[in-house]
Amino acid sequence: MRRILTLVFLFSLVVYLAPYKSAFQEEPESDLDVRISLENEQVFIEEEFEVEIILENTSEEEQELNFNTGQRFDIIVLGSKEDVLYRWSQDKMFTQALGTVVLAPEEEKVYDAKIVLPTDIATGDYQMKGLITASEQIFSQAKTITVKE
């Protein structure tokens, strides 16, 4: 029984972590573009702010993205040593079901999230990235945010 539980735990861990490759890995050329948009690039600790992740099909052909879970996007805040200081999805739960998103040519899909940065993030400048959590992840360019008290 213990062996089965261990295998189930390891499988769950692999399924959860599989979508997360390095946030700094160069992305190959793609017909899909991901952008991150903030209402204000100066944010305050423990104050809610809104972030949009915009996924756009820049090609003249329909594009299909496959997902391993119900999660479609994530937002990360990176420290100076390329470490993840905040992950939007960290306290979220998603269905464990396969899914597909199909984008027509030139179509955009916008994902909204409300974020409250925790108090353990110090004031200063950080990089924020959005990503589409499809089987083949797509990262946005980093956007600099300034965290204030």
Would you write out the chain's pLDDT as a tens digit for each of its 149 residues? Answer: 666 555 444 555 444 444 444 444 444 457 999 999 998 899 998 899 999 999 999 999 999 999 999 999 999 999 988 899 999 999 999 999 999 999 999 999 999 999 999 999 999 999 999 999 999 999 999 999 999 98
DSSP code per residue over 66-116: EESSS--EEEEEE-TTS-EEEEGGGG-------EEEEE-TT-EEEEEEEE-
Looking at residue 74, its pLDDT comes to 97
Query: What CATH number should be reported for the domain holding residue 107?
Result: 2.60.40.2360
Domain count, the chain: 1
Q: Can you read off the two tokens belonging to residue 16?
A: 């959860």
Q: Which domain holds residue 24?
A: 2-148
Calpha distance 61→99 (Å, rounded): 20
Residue 90 to residues 37, 67, 99, 107, Cα–Cα distance (Å) = 20, 18, 20, 29
Looking at residue 66, its pLDDT comes to 97
Neighbours of 60 (CB within 10 A): 8
Whole-model pTM? 0.78
Looking at residue 30, its pLDDT comes to 76
Calpha distance 84→81 (Å, rounded): 9
Calpha distance 76→84 (Å, rounded): 7
Q: Pick from 31, 121, 44, 34: which is nearest to 75 by CA?
A: 34
Q: Which residue has the tokens 């756009």?
A: 56
